[in-house]
């Protein structure tokens, strides 16, 4: 398995990888698997048909992001190198980014090219979390550009662990659950946060509670959140949080139901799931205020097929489970905690939205074809996902990425002598250029299609 840097240094031109004449209708993808430490040791391996080796596989990237662009193989050519392993793509040949640069109109279509320039505007992932991801925010467009340009002027290397902005793009994102998927997203109402903080021991939670009592509004939520983030640098934060976690544990262990005695200090309605989240995060990240911040955030459980949209600026954390994730093509992550990576409190607070409200959901359209359309309120991406059993037309224009989650799916394009078909098995993915035109899928399998609406 090669690194992203090795892949870039070994790139060849698209002309070397694509036969002369009519461009292929389909390009099979060989994709990078990111081995982040929170990843599952089985989910992505099972999808790809790779024997688990005990190492985590956190994200499978399908797209043209410069950190890990997929490699493209015209259908009909021998597939390179075997299945991907954590750490990078095994393929040789050109990347999807090369393909876009070589023929932006044919690959993207004029509409997408005019709107986004010669770049694929979305990135598709499979995300598999065994432990919680960091508490994080993605910047809005103007803040992404400003932060990226600022760090460039300051000479921060693109691959430096001290860098907060890895590109100049915003990163709204959407997840569609493949298994039961758990997360945190957006701030609860101030009155609900106060209920959950009530009766807990500790100086930090006392100050957070006081900020919300003084201003039970968005301003109070921001003030309490800011106190929690800055507490990371306080010398006695670990001992203070240990007191808070102990009081959460006492509350969680108290008997439930009518007539049961309340835990000491608990005078308001509490949530056992919220308490369990604090305890799990405190065990994974001892002494991290992010565990207490979880009480401020909406707790979300998605069943397979259910979805959640995360706008730029939205504070969130994914906790466990497997999902398909699609986003604007960016790797900008500003972390607030629950991580060993850089926490840039000032940049995060500048980008974070603290408006209370429920977790956001995309608009769903079920046309009875088996594929449900997931439409978030952004222009860069949408998904169609579900089980294909009969002929189903796919989005017919623009760049498309198709992933088979199980079973088998056959894609067909063109007609007569110019018709072409491609079969995808479990874990296989393909890029469909704009120039391919309308595509019909059939077979018996679950599939995901990412496209520009």
pLDDT of residue 269: 57
Q: What is the mean pLDDT of the segment spanning 347-356?
A: 95
pLDDT of residue 308: 98
pTM: 0.88
Residue 75 pLDDT level (bands cut at 50, 70, 90): confident
Q: What is the mean pLDDT of the segment spanning 363-383?
A: 96
Q: What is the mean pLDDT of the segment spanning 99-114?
A: 96
**What long-range pairs does 13-16 form, CB within 8 A, spacing at least 24?**
13/94, 13/98, 13/102, 14/94, 14/98, 14/99, 14/101, 14/102, 14/103, 15/102, 16/93, 16/94
Chain segment 169-187, per-residue pLDDT in tens: 899 999 999 999 999 999 9
Q: Please, what is the average pLDDT of the chain?
A: 89
* Nearest to 309, CA basis, from 186, 185, 173: 173
Chain segment 206-246, per-residue pLDDT in tens: 999 999 999 999 999 999 999 999 999 999 999 999 999 99
Distance from C-alpha of 40 to C-alpha of 402, rounded to nearest angstrom: 23
The secondary structure of 299-326, three-state, reads EEEECCCCEEEECCCECEEEEEEEEEEE
pLDDT of residue 271: 87
Identify the residue with better confidence: 336 or 9. 336
Q: Among residues of the chain, what percentage have pLDDT more than 90? A: 80
Look at residue 11 and tell me whether its pLDDT is greater than 80. no
Residue 158 pLDDT level (bands cut at 50, 70, 90): confident
Chain segment 415-451, per-residue pLDDT in tens: 877 889 999 999 999 999 999 999 999 999 999 999 9
Distance from C-alpha of 164 to C-alpha of 237, rounded to nearest angstrom: 24
Chain segment 316-343, per-residue pLDDT in tens: 999 999 999 999 999 899 999 999 888 9
Identify the residue with better confidence: 271 or 36. 36
Residue 76 pLDDT level (bands cut at 50, 70, 90): low
Residue 80 pLDDT level (bands cut at 50, 70, 90): very low
Six-digit token pair at 252?
A: 């969680």
Chain segment 235-256, per-residue pLDDT in tens: 999 999 999 999 999 999 988 6
pLDDT of residue 56: 97
Distance from C-alpha of 257 to C-alpha of 249, rounded to nearest angstrom: 17
């Amino acid at each position: 398995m090669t690194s992203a840097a090795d892949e870039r240094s070994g790139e060849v031109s698209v002309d070397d990888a694509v036969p002369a004449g009519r461009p292929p209708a389909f390009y099979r993808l060989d994709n990078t698997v990111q081995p982040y430490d929170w990843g599952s040791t089985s989910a992505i391996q099972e999808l790809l048909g790779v024997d688990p080796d005990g190492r985590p596989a956190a994200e499978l990237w399908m797209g043209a992001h410069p950190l890990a662009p997929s490699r493209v193989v015209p259908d009909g050519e021998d597939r390179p190198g075997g299945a991907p392993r954590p750490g990078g793509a095994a393929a040789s040949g050109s990347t999807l980014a090369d393909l876009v640069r070589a023929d932006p109109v044919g690959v993207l279509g004029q509409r997408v090219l005019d709107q986004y320039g010669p770049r694929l505007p979305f990135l598709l992932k499979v995300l598999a979390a065994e432990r919680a991801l960091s508490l994080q925010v993605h910047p809005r467009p103007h803040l992404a550009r400003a932060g990226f340009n600022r760090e460039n002027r300051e000479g921060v290397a693109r691959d430096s662990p001290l860098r907060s902005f890895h590109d100049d793009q915003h990163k709204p994102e959407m997840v569609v659950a493949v298994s039961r998927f758990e997360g945190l997203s957006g701030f609860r109402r101030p009155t609900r946060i106060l209920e959950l903080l009530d009766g807990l021991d500790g100086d930090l939670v006392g100050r957070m509670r006081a900020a919300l009592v003084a201003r039970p509004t968005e301003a109070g939520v921001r003030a309490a959140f800011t106190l929690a983030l800055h507490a990371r640098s306080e010398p006695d934060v670990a001992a203070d949080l240990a007191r808070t976690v102990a009081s959460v544990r006492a509350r969680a262990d108290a008997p439930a139901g009518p007539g049961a005695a309340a835990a000491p200090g608990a005078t308001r309605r509490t949530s056992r799931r919220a308490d369990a989240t604090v305890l799990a995060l405190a065990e994974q990240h001892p002494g991290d205020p992010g565990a207490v911040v979880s009480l401020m955030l909406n707790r979300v459980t998605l069943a397979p097929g259910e979805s959640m949209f995360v706008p730029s600026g939205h504070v969130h954390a994914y906790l466990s489970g497997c999902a398909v994730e699609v986003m604007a093509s960016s790797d900008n992550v500003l972390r607030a905690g629950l991580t060993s990576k850089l926490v840039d409190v000032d940049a995060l607070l500048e980008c974070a939205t603290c408006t209370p409200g429920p977790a956001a959901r995309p608009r769903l359209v079920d046309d009875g074809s088996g594929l449900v359309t997931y439409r978030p309120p952004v222009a860069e991406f949408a998904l169609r996902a579900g089980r294909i059993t009969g002929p189903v037309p796919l989005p017919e224009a623009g760049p498309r990425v198709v992933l088979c989650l199980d079973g088998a799916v056959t894609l067909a394009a063109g007609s007569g002598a110019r018709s072409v078909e491609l079969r995808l098995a479990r874990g296989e993915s393909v890029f469909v250029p704009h120039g391919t035109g309308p595509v019909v899928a059939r077979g018996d399998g679950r599939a995901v299609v990412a496209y520009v609406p």
